[in-house]
Structure 1
Amino acid sequence: MGVEQKPFIIHVGELVFGKGRRRIKTLLGSCVAITLWHPLHRYGGMCHFALAKKPATATVAQTLDARYADDCIKLFRKLAEERGTELSEYQACIYGGGNMLSSSRLRTDSAFSEVDSSPIGDANAAQAFALLVAEGVAIKEADVGEQGYRKVCFDPRSGQAEVEFSLVSSVKL
């Protein structure tokens, strides 16, 4: 039995997928990580996205960008198909979407009515659920929301993840 390899750390806007031997780690606040695992072929992966949708003002609409949930799912679908599998054959877990400020809702008045007043973490988690359900992916586990951050360590060999949750101390604005 060999020495355990150092974990692969991913940051916002990164996605890893394949038959890796290294665990994948990330740290999440309002961002969300989706893990995918194929129990038969043992392909696994994780993405770490910051926002639910790519803004309509994005300069290059054709380029997939893992900072956005919708693009992460498109990338996962493409990678699964390249390996002769369908996204619906995978098991998914969703982590993160924490509300990082004590006043997690923006206050708006009529001058800023177009501002989304829902917490970013809630929107990210909701989008992850919606996209995975639309693809027919079984969601095995979810650890989302609340006021805090999570450390996630995913093992692509087994499809198992360890999650450490920590509360955010109250921040007064």
Structure 2
Amino acid sequence: MKQIPFSSLAEREIFLNPGDLGVGCRHEVFGTLLGSCVAITLWHPTRKLGCICHFILPADAAGARERRAGGRYGESAFALMQAELLRNGVRPSECIAKIFGGGRMFGAGFLINDIGERNITMARKVVQQAGLAIAAEHVGSDGYRRLYFDVATGDVWLKFDWIDSDQKDVVL
């Protein structure tokens, strides 16, 4: 794997906050920071067009769907991604899918109602329901992730930091 310094990607970064969605082509680099949230990337290798979401929760609460649609929830975020790709002339079924995040932010002692794991499950579900294979994923564990999605190449550069650990950061 080629090594690109995070600093060179950061210079071109379009930062996504939780609930945001990014769509771009060739020159864009989308960045985000993930704890228990999950990011899904969809990238078209010929058109060099990509889409990324950063969702907070797997699904909206029953009955609230009409009040709070958008990128905060896995189901609606993925639907928005598909709509944006179609609007740009790209069929989602032709894209390469990758999933990141879903970390346990408070360690293994807080496994009850593990929101990170529920987010990972939702991400896998919506990608597979769309008929896509998951080309790469880096999910779960105790820690957070800093990532950059380079739309020119489809590469996702990721740095994973462990919580309560003296281990060195890993760049993938």
Tell me the distance in 2 between the aligned counterparts of 1:124 and 1:64: 17
Gaps of 5+ in 1: 107-116
Aligned 8 A contact 2:18 2:55 in 1: yes
Is 1:13 paired with 2:19?
A: yes
Q: Normalization by structure 2: what TM-score?
A: 0.84
Report the structure number with the largest CA radius of gyration. Answer: 1
Amino acid paired to 1:142: E
Of residues 76, 100, 119 in structure 1, which corresponds to 2:81? 76
* Deviation of 1:59 (Å): 6.1
* Deviation of 1:83 (Å): 1.9
Is 1:100 paired with 2:95?
A: no
User: In the alignment, which residue of structure 2 is the partner of 1:128?
Assistant: 123
Aligned 8 A contact 1:51 1:120 in 2: yes
Gaps of 5+ in 2: 1-7, 166-172
Tell me the distance in 2 between the aligned counterparts of 1:142 and 1:162: 12
Aligned 8 A contact 1:14 1:66 in 2: yes
User: In the alignment, which residue of structure 2 is the partner of 1:64?
Assistant: 69
Matched-pair identity in %: 34
Tell me the distance in 2 between the aligned counterparts of 1:79 and 1:137: 17
* Deviation of 1:22 (Å): 2.5
SS at match of 2:110: coil
* Deviation of 1:120 (Å): 0.4
Q: What do you get for the CA RMSD once the two structures are aligned?
A: 1.8
Residue deviations 1:76-123 (CA, integer Å, cap 9, x gap): 1111111222211110110000011122223xxxxxxxxxx3x10001
Tell me the distance in 2 between the aligned counterparts of 1:82 and 1:18: 12
Aligned length: 156
In structure 2, relative to structure 1, the CA distance for the partners of 1:66 and 1:20 (3 Å cut) is: farther
Tell me the distance in 2 between the aligned counterparts of 1:68 and 1:145: 18
Residue deviations 1:111-170 (CA, integer Å, cap 9, x gap): xxxxxx3x1000101110110000012311000000000001110111001110011128
User: In the alignment, which residue of structure 2 is the partner of 1:91?
Assistant: 96
Tell me the distance in 1 between the aligned counterparts of 2:110 and 2:99: 21
